[in-house]
Chains A and B, each alone.
Chain A
Amino acid sequence: MDHSATTPVDPLVLDSMLPYFSELFGNPSSLHSFGNEASEALSLARRQVAEIIGALPEEIIFTSGGTESDNLAIRGVIPHDSGKKHVITSAVEHPAVLNTCAFLEKVGHDVTYVPVDSNGVVDLEYLEKSIRDDTIVISVMHANNEVGTIQPLKEIAQIAKKHGICFHTDAVQSVGKIPVNVDDLGVDLLSISSHKIYGPKGVGALYVRKGTMIEPIVFGGNHEKGIRSGTENVPGIIGLGKAMVLAQERLEPDSEKMRQMRDSLIKRILESVDDVRLNGHPTQRLPNNVNFSFKYVEGESMLMLLDMKGIGVSTGSACSSRSQKSSNVLSSLGIEDEYIHGSLRISLGRENSMEEIDYVVKSLKETVSKLREMSPLAGK
């Protein structure tokens, strides 16, 4: 129940990868036949990834994952010799984007963090108003990893286009769960991570629309058209390609199944537990994301009790005992203090079942009432 953190590698994906660790170990840059096989496999994976998101194969750059794709997208489109530039992003991005932006600020660029409303949707008016003559890129994620809110990318793309600004989206959480097509969304750059879609960890891709000016952030032997040097992670990339194909094949049935489980879970908890709220957008949310906040109880304690019942979930809450801070996403949504400490994210996967949802509902109710009995806040 923590599929937004990561997913197990699908057996079919693993099967597709295995030969490339042993018999087909070639370096795709080598000219002999071993290298040829690897290079053909890479081309296949590139075509697979491209086709699924409606791109051309030459617009796909393989990377080491979502984090690198985000870094490359945002830093890569700022020419090294351009002087001070302006970047627009949202307040609820993944640290891969937020910390890239923090670095850019440190080296002298300006960044605007567009606020979100209480459902987690970016303020489009604010976004457009913050555009300046030197704005070079807008980066807004497709779907949020904590609260699941899906952003109005088409509208943002129109704004970006009108002002001639490059538009990047982190689609790490949305790929495989909702349709992702670069032309429908109108994006110039799009980040993908393999391990969120039943592929291996440490591999991802960046879509770069033809004609987009981008510079590398990793230099070397000019792999990936010089945009991302380094001998390709051949088995990983093959796995990513396969995972994308499977995700695409299963997109409709899987997302419909997850949506039913999600809605059942939300409905039953909201109906049967007092003082609980759903974080994120009521309808514009990932089919597999549920994020609740319970009053009077703390996130880690819920996490632990559920873990002991065999349910793995996550929380954006952190108490004062830990150096970690509470999630900036939850505070950006303006959630009150009483609710912010009791957050719980349940992210479903294709192998979950309605019976498991029944068990989660029952366990969650038990957990919350057990902790509330201990809480000095409840019943005051």
Chain B
Amino acid sequence: MQVSDPGGVYLYSKKVIEEFSNPSNVGSIENADGVGEIGSTVDGDIINISIKVRDNVLEDVKFKTFGCVVAISTSSMVTKLSKGKTIDEVLELKNEDVIEALEGLPEGKDRCSGFALDALKMAIEDYKQKNK
């Protein structure tokens, strides 16, 4: 398992490394309005995203992630891209937007990149269910 090529150059973009080593919005919101969790210890990735919603806007978004560099950096990016946005805007977000914001992912490592966004959308779904 390698994170850099033999010359010491990282396989990941600078942005991925930055998000991974200095992630934003780590934690879980107490009395969250919605929570989404995806993955299992068997898969080796668990992403938990909690949201606070006010007037249809995601006032706060936090994540807790057990997983690889991609899982952690996409989780952080997803919280950044969604915080302060309306629910409709967030539902429009696509996996490609997350990858683009991370300045790309190495080939073969983009498979689980959608998990964080899925967890966020599950959290919104959870919020909607509770506020029917």
Binding site for B on A (CB under 8 A): 296-301, 303-305, 307-308, 314-324, 326, 337-338, 340-341, 373-377
Mark each residue of chain B from 92 to 127: 1 if its CB lies under 8 Å from any CB of chain A, else 0.
000000000000000011111100000000000000
Q: Does B129 contact A (CB under 8 A)?
A: no
In the complex, are the beta carbons of B66 and A375 less than 8 A apart? yes
Given contacts A300-B3, A303-B3, A304-B20, contact A374 B64 (CB under 8 A): yes
Query: Is A317 in contact with B72, judged by CB distance below 8 angstroms?
Result: no
* Chain A residues, CB < 8 A from B44: 298, 317-320, 326, 340-341
Q: How far is the CB of B90 from chain A (nearest CB, A)?
A: 21
Contacts of B31 in A (CB 8 A): none
Within the assembled complex, what's the spacing in Å between the Cα atoms of A304 and B20?
A: 9
- Using a Cβ cutoff of 8 Å, how many contacts connect chains A and B? 100
Cβ contacts B61-89/A at 8 Å (1 or 0 each): 00111111111100000000000000000
Residues of A within 8 A of B39 (CB): 320
- Complex Cα–Cα for A179 and B52 (A): 63
Shortest CB-to-CB span from B87 to chain A, Å, is 23
Q: Which of B3, B43, B66, B109 has most A Cβ within 10 Å?
A: B66
A373-B26, A376-B46 in contact; A319/B71 too (CB < 8 A)?
yes
A307–B3 contact, CB under 8 A?
yes
Q: Give 9 A-B contacts (CB < 8 Å), ordered by A residue.
A: A298-B67, A301-B20, A301-B72, A304-B20, A320-B45, A320-B112, A321-B45, A376-B28, A376-B48
Inter-chain CA distance A261–B112, complex, in Å, is 38
Interface of chain B residues 1 through 47 with chain A (CB within 8 A): 1, 3-4, 17, 20-21, 23, 26, 28, 37, 39, 41-47
Whose C-beta in chain B lies nearest to the C-beta of A296?
Answer: B66
Interface residues on B, range: 35 or more
CB-CB nearest in chain A for B75: A374
Min C-beta distance of B37 to chain A, whole Å: 7
B100 to chain A, nearest CB (A): 18
Residues in B with CB closer than 8 Å to A373 are: 26
Q: How far is the CB of B110 from chain A (nearest CB, A)?
A: 8
Q: Out of B42, B67, B108, which one reaches A301, CB within 8 Å?
A: B67
Smallest beta-carbon distance B20→chain A, Å = 6
Query: Ordered nearest first, which 10 A-B pairs have the shortest CB separation?
Result: A321-B112, A376-B64, A319-B44, A341-B44, A376-B48, A319-B68, A300-B68, A320-B43, A375-B66, A337-B41
